[in-house]
Amino acid sequence: MTDTSDGTRKKTATGGPSPLALMRSAREQLTELTGLHPESMPRLEQTDEGWVLDVEVVELARVPETMSLMALYEVTLDPDGQLTGYRRIRRYERGRSDRG
- pLDDT tens, position by position, 15-64: 789 999 999 999 999 999 999 999 999 999 999 999 999 999 999 999 99
Average pLDDT, the chain: 88
Whether 50 contacts 34, CB under 8 Å: no
Sequence ranges of the domains in the chain: 2-93
3-state secondary structure of 19: helix
**What DSSP string runs through 21-69?**
HHHHHHHHHHHHHH---EEEEEEEEE-SSSEEEEEEEEEE--SSGGG-E
Residue 5, pLDDT > 60, answer: no
Q: CATH assignment of 2-93, given 1.10.10, 3.30.519, 1.10.3470, 3.10.450?
A: 3.10.450
